[in-house]
Amino acid sequence: MSAASVTPNTPAISGRSLWDDALRRLLANRAAVVSAALLTGLVVLALIGPMLTPFAYDQINKNDVWAPPLTAGHLLGADSLGRDVLARLLVGLRVSLAIGVVATAVSLVIGVIWGATAGYLGGRVDEIMMRLVDVLYSLPFIFFVILLMVTFGRNVILIFLAIGAVEWLTMSRIVRGQTLSLKSREFVEAARTIGLSDAAIITRHIIPNLLGPVVVYVTLTIPAVILAESFLSFLGMGVQEPLTSLGTLISQGAQDMEAAPWLLIFPSVTMVATLMAFNFIGDGLRDAIDPKDR
């Protein structure tokens, strides 16, 4: 970013920046483009869908218990309490996506600051900071997340924080590696020569230039977080009724799958489609930003 502002803006010859190139390569990747469209659709559905369904997600309809899809006004059927599966699915999707985004944001903030600081300062500080990451890496984290849930009760905010706090480790490793190679570059030398403080160099020069790999990793972390939340929900430690998430819906659907397979199928398909979309976009971004890994 700082490097880009140095080049003079001449409208006659429009140069192609690295990002233009990356965008072009991304748009040529069919799987990534289709996934992006699919994901946009899912996000829109999750945002406005719950307002449009004829039933509320927690509305119990005694007459519609186990209603199969397309009966009694339930497009995707109803569950054991006669609640509309479509309404619950949309709310579940909303909750899962929200957890994915917020927890990833938490891991992004911690991971980037931690990794950039360790990589930039180097030496003993780096040694200690990354050794701590190594130690945390070898902890059985799912156990601690479960203990957190047991200790502080099942609480959506806590799920955000707990999962985010687990996922930052890989982020900090990636960021540190990139920082190590960035810090010997000329523009960082230049910033140091004019007397910028370390903090200013990290925030204004190192972090903006880390964007590429970080964006890629973010798109791969969101599905990992969604998956982690559904594991918790499956074990009965995630989002609490009547609120729901894709994992909770699948877990309930699995219990009744022989009597009412639609309870398992629709949430599972939604979940798999969401995760696949994120993964294909992430892979596409990686190929686009760093084509040598293809």
Partner 1 sequence: MGLLMIRFLFRRLWVAVPTLFLVITAAFFMMRAAPGNPFDTDRKLPAQVERNIMAKYGMDRPLGEQYLTYLGNVLQGDLGPSLKYQDKSVLDLIKEGLPTSAVIGLSALTLACLIGVLLGVMAALRQNKLIDNLTMTVAVLGVCIPTFVTAPLLVLVFAAKLGWLPTAGLNGVRSLILPVTVLALPQIAIISRLTRAGMIEVLRSNYVRTARARGLPEHRIVFGHALRAAVLPLVSYLGPACAGLLTGSLVIEKIFSLPGLGKSFIIGALQRDYTVVMGVVIVYAGLILLLNLLADIIYALLDPRVKLS
Residues engaged in binding partner 1 (CB under 8 A) = 131, 134-135, 137-144, 146-148, 150-151, 153, 223, 227, 230-231, 234-235, 247, 250-251, 253-254, 257-258, 261, 264, 268, 271-272, 275-276, 279-280, 283, 293
Task: Count CB-CB contacts under 10 A for residue 122.
Answer: 13
Task: Indicate the residue among 135 and 194 with the shorter CB distance to partner 1.
Answer: 135
Integer Cα distance of 112 and 127 in angstroms: 17
CB of 249 to partner 1, least distance (A): 11
Closer to partner 1 by Cβ: residue 129 or 257: 257
How far apart (Å, rounded) are the C-alpha atoms in residues 218 and 171?
8
**Spatial contact of 175 and 119, defined as CB atoms under 8 Å apart:** yes
Burial (0-12, 13-18, 19+ Cβ within 10 Å), 60: middle
**CB-wise, 43 or 191, nearer to partner 1?**
43
Closest to partner 1 by CB, 190 or 272: 272
* CA–CA gap between residue 237 and residue 150 (Å, rounded): 8
DSSP letters along 112-130, please? HHHHHHHHHH-HHHHHHHH
- How far is 229 from 143, CA to CA, in rounded Å? 13
To the nearest whole angstrom, how small is the minimum distance from the Cβ of residue 208 to partner 1? Answer: 28
Q: Residue 38 is encoded by which pair of tokens? A: 């699919």
| Type of residue at 168 | W
Torsion of CA 157, 217, 282, 185, to 10 degrees: 150
Residue type, 66: W
In whole angstroms, how close is the CB of 227 to partner 1 at the nearest point?
Answer: 6
Tell me how far, at minimum, the Cβ of 258 lies from partner 1, in Å.
Answer: 6
The least CB distance from residue 73 to partner 1, in Å, is 28
User: Nearest distance from residue 237's CB to partner 1, in Å?
Assistant: 9
Q: Is the Cβ of residue 143 or residue 184 nearer to partner 1 in the bound state?
A: 143
- Residue closer to partner 1 (CB basis): 4 or 147: 147
Closer CB to partner 1, 125 or 147, in the complex: 147
Q: How far apart are the first and last CA of the chain?
A: 25
Smallest distance, partner 1 to C-beta of residue 94, A: 19
Map residue 78 onto helix, strand or coil: strand
